Amino acid sequence: MEIKWIHQSEAPLRLYGVWGENQKQELVSYWAAAQLEIGFTGSILLIDAGIQGDIQVSLDGERTQPVICYGMMNIKAAPGSHSLHITVHSPSRLALRAMGVEGTEQLLELPKRPYIHFIGDSITHNYPGFSYRTGEALGCAYSIVAYCGISLVDGWGWYEPPKDVKERPGMESMYFRREFPHEGPPYTEYSFSRLQHPDWIVQFLGTNDYLNNEAHRRSGHIERYAEHAQCFVQKITKHFPHAHWFIMKALTDRCCRNEAIVSAFERICASGISAELIPADTWEVGISKDGTHPTPRGYERLSERLVQYLRAHNGQ
């Protein structure tokens, strides 16, 4: 059997989330969740890739378990045209080198699917949490850029910063880099050139920003958060100009968290960006003993309510 190999740079891939080439010219997945889609003809698709951890593979819409041996993934199907979907959740990672089909067969670009992109902290990062469940329930392509303990504003947040970093980076800086905060420095700025543009962006930040007491209010943190959030959304909108934004209110609020989120939302709308404010604080999501994160059932309810909200928005 003769195999025709196509390098990843020449394959008609649809990429969702953060992907970038490394020095070996491998296409690598980054952040909390990224997806890859490709079509092919024939009965065999070989994927030459470095695989760390577990990945999810679906063939023609059905979950499958491919044979993986020495970095080679073997996808078998009945003769014909097929669609392949790969989802990579952190801490797993995929480094794609090439794809192989039988000599007379070919790779195909799949039709564009609705695409939802999540930006957040540990609540969004949790797997299987609300973001993953929402994407699956809607049947959308989805991706997740999220990190535990991260704030929107640089210098705030609660995660342990790398020892060589003087100021803890917030999402306003880290979003535009490939790596998680703990994987640098140095960090790699990534190109948006091959990435699909999301239809919807769901931002769920603010829980780790310093909006927890009256001292924060008096220090102008509400205004600072709102200004930085507006700039952050505007910067992303330059890359994804047609995306509709959903700004989620916080599930818990010790002082002025949701006041700051509402102020940010108003500034975002005033700048001309298409956005909606999601009243997640009214959804009665069960919160765990730490007072911040949802319970297992809380994550399910958060996803259920968000799916209902988004379907109503989309007329589904």
pLDDT value at 191 more than 90: no
Band (190; pLDDT cuts 50, 70, 90): confident
Tell whether the model's pLDDT for residue 40 goes beyond 70: yes
- What pLDDT does residue 27 have? 97
SS3 per residue for the chain: CCEEEEEHHHCCCEEEEEEEECCCCCEEEEEEEEEEEEEEECCEEEEEEEEECCCEEEECCEEECCEEECCEEEEECCCCEEEEEEEEECCCEEEEEEEEEECCCCEECCCCCCEEEEEECHHHHCCCCHHHHHHHHHCCEEEEEECCCCCCCCCCCCCCCCCCCCCCCCHHHHCCECCCHHHCCCCCECCCCCECCCCEEEEECCCCCCCCCHHHHHCCHHHHHHHHHHHHHHHHHCCCCCCEEEEECCCCCCCCHHHHHHHHHHHHHHCCCCEEEECHHHCCCCECCCCCCECHHHHHHHHHHHHHHHHHHHCC
Please say whether the beta carbons of 29 and 18 come within 8 A.
Answer: yes
* Domains of the chain, first to last: 3-108 (2.60.120.260), 115-314 (3.40.50.1110)
Instruction: Assign 79 a pLDDT band (cuts: 50, 70, 90).
Output: very high
Over residues 208-213, the mean pLDDT reads 98
- Closest by CA to 44, choosing from 2, 95, 93, is 2
What is the structure's pLDDT at 315? 47
> What burial letters (b/e) apply to 244-264, b meaning 16+ CB within 10 Å?
bbbbbbbbebebbbbbbbebb
d(CA 314, CA 37): 23
Percent of the chain residues past pLDDT 70, beyond the cut:
99
- What pLDDT is recorded for position 71? 75
Mean pLDDT of 201-213: 98
On average, the pLDDT of the chain sits at 95
Residue 65 pLDDT class (50, 70, 90 cuts): confident
pLDDT of residue 193: 86
pLDDT band at 316 (very low <50, low <70, confident <90, very high): very low
Query: Does position 166 have pLDDT exceeding 70, yes or no?
Result: yes
Report the pLDDT value the prediction gives residue 149, as an integer from 0 to 100: 97
